[in-house]
Chains A and B, each alone.
Chain A
Amino acid sequence: MTAQTLPTTTPAQVPVARRRFRRRGGGEDRTSWGTTIILALCTLAVLAPLYATATMAFKTTSQSVDGQVFSLPSPVSVDGFVEAWRLTNFPRGFAISVFVTAVTVVGTVALASLAAYAIARNWDRRFFRWSFFYLLAAMFLPFPVLALSQVKLTGIVGLANPVGVALLHVMFQLSFSVLLFTAFIRGLPEELEESARLDGASTWTVFRRVVFPMMAPMSATVAIFAFLASWNDFMMPSLITADSTLQTLPVLQSVFQTQFSSNYNVAFASYLMAMAPAIVVYLFTQRWVMAGVTQGAIK
């Protein structure tokens, strides 16, 4: 599978599958209702915890402690959200999460696409080829191995804060992203770049005007994985950020585990607010999520 087919992997393969089943003929041409029903029942395993989160979030404090997790909220109350908003200082946590995630996404796409372009177009030079393997090697490095030294280093250089967290996220995303971008650029025809160069365009202009626009589908995949990794991360910010008032949303949730343990509606409202952005982004971009997973694993 070449990188170029990647963004269309899922849609393109659906017709193939359909054709296969149509050709089989006989009684198997019909929809398998049995399978559909079994799968629909299996979705309960995914949906039940999410349903519980949503309903708990809208309950009153007294209803949330009655032990009936799956009951509907009556009356519907937004007190949990108001209280969670205040307890976690939600606007600040949200702003920090958004900041860390935005820097990670932009940084990853920018640095990885530039590096991958340089590598792919100079593959015959040992320096670029080896740089590629050097970046790739980090993919096999478990975070716990580096964590303690990174905590020390970020402390020394004054990066024990969200900026440092974003920087480390970018660096950890590089291996996977450079791999995807490099494979994609290799599949692009070089003629366009050469003709732009003949027209007098510099390398930078060629990249910005010709190569980068063509890479849009791969940039989307890389961006979404950077978004998910960064928005949902708990380990890195909890270890790196020294000042607890500068924590990201996932880390802030721990406040409900240690204090306020009986206000379940408040805790669940907060959980819901922390997970909602990732779910919304996923629903709009699932095509690239699916493409990214398959591509990342097969490479």
Chain B
Amino acid sequence: MVTAPATRGTTRRGSAGTAAPTPRPADRRHRVPRTFYLFLVPTLVVFTLSITLPAVMGITFSFTDSVGFGEFSFTGLTNYVALFSDPAIRSSYLFTIGFALVTVLLVNVVAFLLAVGLTARIRAKIALRTVFVLPMVISGIVIAYVFNFLFSNSVPQLGQALGIGPLEQSLLADPDLAWTTIVIVTAWQAIPSALLIYIAGILSIPGEVYEAAAMDGASARRRLVSITLPLVAGYVVINLVIGFKNFLNAYDIIVGLTNGGPGTATRSVAMTIFSGFTGGDYAYQMANATIFFLIAVVLAVVQLRLTRGRSAL
């Protein structure tokens, strides 16, 4: 039931993609060599056992009162009803969605500006691109530990030296500001992939368009706003959706920076779900995971529709 929307979206795109290379007439239908089944079926079996089965199990358990082991009974929608009135769940969703929105905006503004710069006529283009993509390849938890140190030592020091009030204490210890550190570090790591997509987008704009604009006397700023931006709009949408979807899963960086604290100020949905493993409310958190899954499916459908729309342009 859950894969249906995703599948439908892909079918249309997939068949459009195949039409060109293999327009195989129906009467040429061959017997499929058995080897092809050997290539695919074992993988499908393992995949089903390790991905599909846990998903089905999780959803099934969300309708029970299981604590993760021992006996349990089916309780219908009890967990779901309880979820909607649970302040801890609500605050984790509010935090995660707010954090994802702020981060996705920051990432895209910075990545777009960097992409414009990196496709301009500059020196050391390859070297600069290499550096800007670097954060993408570093482990989230390790980079979070490094930033954890910088935020608790170097930044307060700098704040004191410059007399910037709010920075004189560690941001990590401030329940109202700890989230900003998570935004910064997540953005630091996520900007490269958005940047690469924007570079690809900007390079796909035909040079003639700029030529014509230059002949009409358009300034550099005008060309950026009236040509580059509208022509990469499709890439902006893709980056926004992919980024938002990824940031909803935030886990490593939060664990490394604040571990959900101070208190529960920065506890993401993923962290709340994992608490079900030790906290004894396994079934309850599986209901939470199921809701989370539905949100992901909605986003996936949105992404597929937008991707199709863009390639049609």
A and B pair up: yes
Residues of A within 8 A of B (CB): 9, 13-14, 16-17, 19-21, 23-26, 28-33, 35-36, 38-40, 42-43, 45-47, 49-50, 52-53, 56, 67, 69-70, 111, 114-115, 117-119, 121-125, 128-129, 131-153, 167-168, 171-172, 174, 183, 186-187, 190, 202-204, 207, 228, 231-235, 239, 250-251, 253-254, 256-257, 264, 267-268, 271, 274-275, 278-279, 281-283, 286, 289-290, 293-294, 297-299
Alpha-carbon distance between A139 and B307 when the two chains are bound, in angstroms: 15
Contact B123 A31 (CB under 8 A): yes
Taking a contact as CB atoms closer than 8 A, the residue among B29, B123, B145, B251 that contacts A36 in the complex is B123
Chain B nearest CB, measured from A45 CB (Å): 7
Contact A136 B33 (CB under 8 A): no
Contact A286 B133 (CB under 8 A): yes
Taking a contact as CB atoms closer than 8 A, the residue among A36, A45, A275 that contacts B138 in the complex is A275
Contact B50 A167 (CB under 8 A): yes
Contact A149 B57 (CB under 8 A): yes
Contacts A125-B32, A256-B145, A279-B137: A144 and B251 contacting too (C-beta < 8 A)? yes
Chain A nearest CB, measured from B204 CB (Å): 8
Contact partners of A139 in chain B: CB under 8 A? 300
Contact partners of A56 in chain B: CB under 8 A? 149
Contact A49 B296 (CB under 8 A): no
Taking a contact as CB atoms closer than 8 A, the residue among B11, B43, B58, B154 that contacts A114 in the complex is B43
Contacts A17-B203, A39-B122: A144 and B131 contacting too (C-beta < 8 A)? no
Contact partners of B131 in chain A: CB under 8 A? 43, 46-47
Give residues 1-53 of B contacting A (CB, 8 Å). 2-3, 6-7, 10-11, 14, 17-18, 21-22, 24, 26, 29, 32-33, 35-37, 39-40, 43-44, 46-47, 49-51, 53
Q: Which among B22, B124, B146, B255 has the greatest number of chain A C-beta atoms within 10 A?
A: B146
Q: Which among B21, B49, B276, B299 has the greatest number of chain A C-beta atoms within 10 A?
A: B21
Chain B nearest CB, measured from A170 CB (Å): 8
Chain A nearest CB, measured from B92 CB (Å): 11
Q: Which residue on A lies nearest to B195, using beta carbons? A: A293
Contact B289 A145 (CB under 8 A): yes
Give residues 286-305 of B contacting A (CB, 8 Å). 286, 289-290, 292-293, 296-297, 299-300
Contact A231 B139 (CB under 8 A): yes
Contact B248 A204 (CB under 8 A): no
Chain B nearest CB, measured from A174 CB (Å): 6
Chain B nearest CB, measured from A192 CB (Å): 14
Binds A, one of B75-83, B165-173, B267-275: B267-275
Alpha-carbon distance between A235 and B249 when the two chains are bound, in angstroms: 11
Number of A-B contacts (CB under 8 A): 313
Alpha-carbon distance between A148 and B276 when the two chains are bound, in angstroms: 8
The 10 A-B pairs of least Cβ separation, nearest first, read: A20-B207, A149-B54, A140-B300, A232-B139, A203-B35, A118-B39, A234-B141, A137-B3, A114-B39, A282-B137
Chain A nearest CB, measured from B104 CB (Å): 14
Contacts A145-B58, A186-B17: A202 and B139 contacting too (C-beta < 8 A)? no
Besides A49-B188, A297-B239, 20 more A-B contacts (Cβ < 8 Å) are A39-B117, A42-B117, A43-B131, A115-B44, A122-B36, A124-B29, A128-B36, A136-B6, A144-B270, A145-B290, A147-B274, A148-B273, A153-B54, A171-B46, A172-B51, A174-B43, A253-B142, A274-B142, A279-B137, A297-B242
Alpha-carbon distance between A47 and B3 when the two chains are bound, in angstroms: 42
Contact B44 A131 (CB under 8 A): yes
Contact partners of B129 in chain A: CB under 8 A? 290
Taking a contact as CB atoms closer than 8 A, the residue among B210, B256, B292 that contacts A24 in the complex is B210
Alpha-carbon distance between A153 and B211 when the two chains are bound, in angstroms: 61
Contact A123 B39 (CB under 8 A): no
Contact partners of A231 in chain B: CB under 8 A? 139
Contact B140 A232 (CB under 8 A): yes
What interface size band does chain B fall in?
Answer: 35 or more
A-B contact pairs, 28 of them (CB 8 A): A35-B122, A36-B122, A36-B124, A46-B134, A69-B154, A70-B154, A123-B18, A125-B32, A128-B32, A132-B14, A133-B11, A140-B300, A144-B249, A144-B289, A145-B273, A147-B277, A149-B53, A167-B46, A171-B51, A231-B139, A234-B252, A235-B252, A267-B149, A275-B139, A279-B134, A279-B138, A289-B137, A294-B200
Main DSSP-derived SS at the B contact region: helix
Contact partners of B106 in chain A: CB under 8 A? none
Q: Which residue on A lies nearest to B238, using beta carbons? A: A297
Contact A147 B273 (CB under 8 A): yes
Contact B114 A42 (CB under 8 A): yes
Taking a contact as CB atoms closer than 8 A, the residue among B46, B47, B120, B147 that contacts A35 in the complex is B120
Contact B296 A128 (CB under 8 A): no
Contact partners of A294 in chain B: CB under 8 A? 196-197, 200
Contact partners of B125 in chain A: CB under 8 A? 14
Chain A nearest CB, measured from B14 CB (Å): 7
Contact partners of A239 in chain B: CB under 8 A? 274, 277
Contact partners of B22 in chain A: CB under 8 A? 123-124, 186, 190
